[in-house]
């Protein structure tokens, strides 16, 4: 009988170990990942989707990575404006002329069927899109925010809406308390798919921000690093293929201050 009990006791011990590993430090059980949804997760081929140069010289890129799509622009001190609220596909459609083909990967993460149909009417492509003769200027599609506003003051504040959570910084010291922001701070939300960073570097040192996600064991794993040179700005946005607990941390090389915001969307 004792020999028969040994496997049962061992199995119970393993179950307890798994249970404790799935708990956060405060003892709250971590929601279990749905294995079926993980198996059906979209895996993208890492590649450049599009390089776009607008009439006013703003350079923009869309890039597929295995776990999502990154949208980037540099040195736009006017702020991202209405594009911050747009999906990846909607941004692309706003930033390109009607005769420009649409990268197929952008349709895979889109939820708005009307935007998908609009893209299909243009035509889609699996090849990178390069366009530099645009008649579109960035200022035509967004509301301006002067760069000087981001580099004055010395504080931050949070905004909680029905669809997103974001923290806005004004001339704030990087790397100190307040520069780590969590998706779980959203009222009524925790896991999200999209991270938006608009970062204005107010000093000559290089700013460096990191994005992280929480794995099934309750540990945060670094995913992306976004650097911004001295005196420059950068908007970085990534829509991942799955919803997870996420966080972002803004620091830099040496001391420095920055403005802009960290936003979590698509809960």
Locate 6 and state its tokens.
């040994």
First to last CA, the chain: 52
The string of pLDDT tens digits covering residues 217-263 is 999 999 999 999 998 888 999 999 999 999 999 999 999 999 999 99
Considering only CA atoms, which of 67, 55, 145, 48 is closest in space to residue 96? 55
Q: For residues 144 and 17, what is the distance between their CA atoms, to the nearest angstrom?
A: 53
Q: List, for residues 192-208, the tens digit of each pLDDT value.
A: 999 999 998 999 999 99
**Band of pLDDT at residue 75, cut at 50, 70 and 90:** low
**pTM given for the model:** 0.72
For every residue of 42-55, DSSP letters joined together read --PPPEEEEEEE-T
The predicted pLDDT at position 165 comes to 96
Per residue in 110-122, pLDDT (tens digit) is: 988 989 999 999 9
């Amino acid at each position: 009988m004792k020999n028969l009990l040994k496997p049962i006791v061992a199995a119970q011990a393993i179950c307890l170990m798994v249970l404790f590993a799935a708990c956060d430090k405060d003892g709250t059980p971590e929601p279990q990942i749905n294995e079926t949804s993980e198996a059906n997760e979209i895996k993208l081929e890492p590649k450049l989707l599009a390089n776009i140069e607008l009439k006013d010289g703003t350079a923009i890129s869309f890039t597929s990575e295995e776990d999502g799509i990154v949208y980037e622009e540099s040195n736009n001190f006017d702020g991202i404006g209405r594009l911050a609220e747009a999906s990846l596909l909607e941004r692309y459609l706003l930033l390109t002329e009607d005769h420009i083909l649409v990268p197929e990967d952008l349709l895979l993460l889109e939820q708005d069927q009307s935007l998908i149909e609009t893209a299909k009417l243009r035509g889609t492509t699996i090849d990178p899109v390069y366009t530099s003769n645009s008649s579109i200027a960035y200022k035509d599609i967004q509301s301006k925010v002067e760069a000087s506003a981001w580099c004055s003051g010395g504080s931050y504040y949070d905004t909680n809406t029905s669809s997103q959570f974001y923290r806005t910084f004004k001339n704030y010291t990087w790397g100190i308390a307040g520069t780590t922001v969590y998706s779980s701070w959203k009222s009524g939300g925790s896991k999200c798919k999209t991270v938006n960073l608009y970062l204005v570097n107010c000093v000559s040192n290089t700013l460096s921000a990191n994005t992280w996600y929480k794995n099934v064991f309750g540990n945060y794993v670094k995913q992306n690093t976004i650097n911004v040179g001295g005196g420059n700005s950068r908007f970085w946005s990534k829509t991942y293929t799955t919803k997870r607990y996420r966080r972002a941390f803004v620091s830099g090389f040496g001391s420095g201050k920055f403005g802009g915001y960290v936003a979590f969307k698509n809960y």
